[in-house]
């Protein structure tokens, strides 16, 4: 079995990917910025057995010397690069910080791998945000469509996406790129859509919040899948040699208005009389109305497809917040 490093292991998708790798018998390493207790935070989705098999290593992605030392000391079969400032609204408030985290940090990681471990395969977790408003005519977005981001977060990911393509094309790095479309599930931060609804509804269920649900733009249309299906796509692509050098859209196939997810969470909760209230701060300065990706090459090369019904995902997400809120 292999040894794999996950950057962003204390984020949203990282613990789910760590769990999958552990179940498949691999060694799991997690890169964290410093030992400040955040490692323990991922126990909300990992049990003690899963957690104790993770080896944590410490480095700031923006500190090349420290990062280089990690790859001089440890040999990896692959690196899943998930770490990022990943909240589009925050990127409008702090575009420079977003660029530093997402571009400089990623460039350092690419350099450290290519300098020390040329046979180590890297997955760069890009995003559907790189496409911006492509696909507003209702068609599926393809991997060769124009990259034209509509926010600083998307721009930062597009910059690394293009740099990664150049490094792979010129033989400086082994790897592949995943452009993840909308996904949610347990551990998604409460400042993200859908999870924000679940967090508020869980508070209502515990009598901690009146039945006024603050909402953003529910007219946008997205194809939302479970985070556990998303990380399964990452895993299958890493383990499949034909995926080397490829770009993949990781997306489901059922577009829905965001209103569906809000209404379904209220239904699952069993609450009555919940008032949905427009909250302007939840609106993005520039929003993308419609996104639906074409995952054809991912399916053809890995046989991947989402397995978890979205209603089950929403039920699990609501339970996560009910268990977490005290």
Helix (H, G, I), strand (E, B) or coil at 119: coil
**317 part of a folded domain:** no
**108 part of a folded domain:** yes
Tally of helices (H runs) and strands (E runs) in the chain = 13, 13
Positions of E strands within the chain:
3-7, 27-32, 54-58, 78-81, 121-127, 174-180, 183-184, 212-215, 221-222, 225-226, 247-250, 256-257, 275-278
Among residues 181, 211, 225, which one has the least CA distance to residue 316?
225
- Per the CB < 8 A criterion, the answer to whether 201 and 251 are in contact is no
CATH number at residue 104: 3.40.50.720
**209 part of a folded domain:** no
Bridge partners (DSSP) of residue 179 are 126, 249
pLDDT of residue 299: 98
**303 part of a folded domain:** yes
Determine the Cα–Cα distance for residues 157 and 149; give it in Å rounded to an integer.
9
Q: What is the mean pLDDT of residues 279-308?
A: 92
**268 part of a folded domain:** no
pLDDT of residue 152: 95
**91 part of a folded domain:** yes
Handedness of CA 252, 256, 261, 266 (dihedral sign): negative
- Is residue 46 very low, low, confident or very high in pLDDT (cuts 50, 70, 90)? confident
- Per the CB < 8 A criterion, the answer to whether 184 and 253 are in contact is no
Residue that has been written with the tokens 């059922």 in this structure:
254
- Is residue 89 very low, low, confident or very high in pLDDT (cuts 50, 70, 90)? confident
- Is residue 34 very low, low, confident or very high in pLDDT (cuts 50, 70, 90)? confident
| pLDDT digits 0-9 by tens, 110-122 | 999 999 999 999 9
Determine the Cα–Cα distance for residues 175 and 80; give it in Å rounded to an integer.
10
pLDDT score of 37 more than 80: no
**For the chain, how many structural domains are there in total?**
1
Average pLDDT, the chain: 95
- Is residue 298 very low, low, confident or very high in pLDDT (cuts 50, 70, 90)? very high
What domain range includes position 175?
Answer: 3-185+224-253+290-307
**163 part of a folded domain:** yes
Determine the Cα–Cα distance for residues 130 and 250; give it in Å rounded to an integer.
13
Sheet holding 78-81, edge to edge: 54-58, 27-32, 3-7, 78-81, 121-127, 174-180, 247-250
């Amino acid at each position: 079995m292999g040894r794999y490093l996950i950057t962003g292991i204390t984020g949203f998708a990282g613990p789910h990917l760590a769990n999958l790798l552990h179940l498949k018998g691999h060694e799991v390493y997690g890169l964290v910025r410093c030992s400040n207790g955040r490692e323990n935070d991922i126990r909300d989705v990992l049990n003690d057995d899963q957690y104790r098999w993770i080896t944590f290593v410490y480095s700031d992605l923006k500190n090349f010397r420290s990062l280089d030392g990690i790859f001089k000391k440890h040999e990896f079969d692959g690196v899943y690069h998930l770490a990022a400032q990943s909240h589009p609204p925050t990127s409008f408030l702090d575009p420079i910080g977003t660029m530093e985290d997402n571009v400089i940090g990623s460039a350092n990681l690419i350099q450290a791998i290519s300098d020390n471990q040329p046979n180590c395969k890297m997955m760069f977790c890009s995003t559907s945000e790189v496409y911006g408003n492509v696909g507003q005519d209702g068609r599926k977005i393809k991997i060769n469509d124009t990259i034209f981001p509509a926010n600083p977060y998307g721009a930062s990911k597009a910059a690394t996406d293009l740099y990664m393509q150049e490094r792979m094309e010129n033989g400086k790095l082994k790897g592949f790129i995943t452009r993840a479309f909308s996904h949610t599930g347990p551990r998604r931060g409460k400042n993200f859509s859908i999870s924000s609804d679940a967090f508020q509804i869980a508070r209502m269920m515990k009598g901690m919040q009146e039945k006024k649900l603050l909402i953003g733009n529910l007219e946008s249309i997205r194809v939302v899948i479970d985070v556990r299906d998303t990380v399964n796509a990452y895993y299958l692509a890493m383990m499949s040699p034909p995926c080397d050098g490829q770009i993949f859209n990781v997306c489901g196939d059922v577009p829905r208005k965001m209103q569906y997810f809000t209404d379904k969470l209220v239904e699952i909760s069993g609450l009555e009389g919940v008032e949905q209230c427009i909250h302007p701060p939840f609106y993005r300065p520039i929003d993308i109305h419609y996104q639906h990706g074409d995952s054809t090459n991912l399916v053809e090369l890995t046989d991947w497809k989402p397995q978890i019904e979205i209603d089950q995902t929403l039920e699990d997400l609501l339970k996560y917040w009910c268990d977490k809120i005290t």
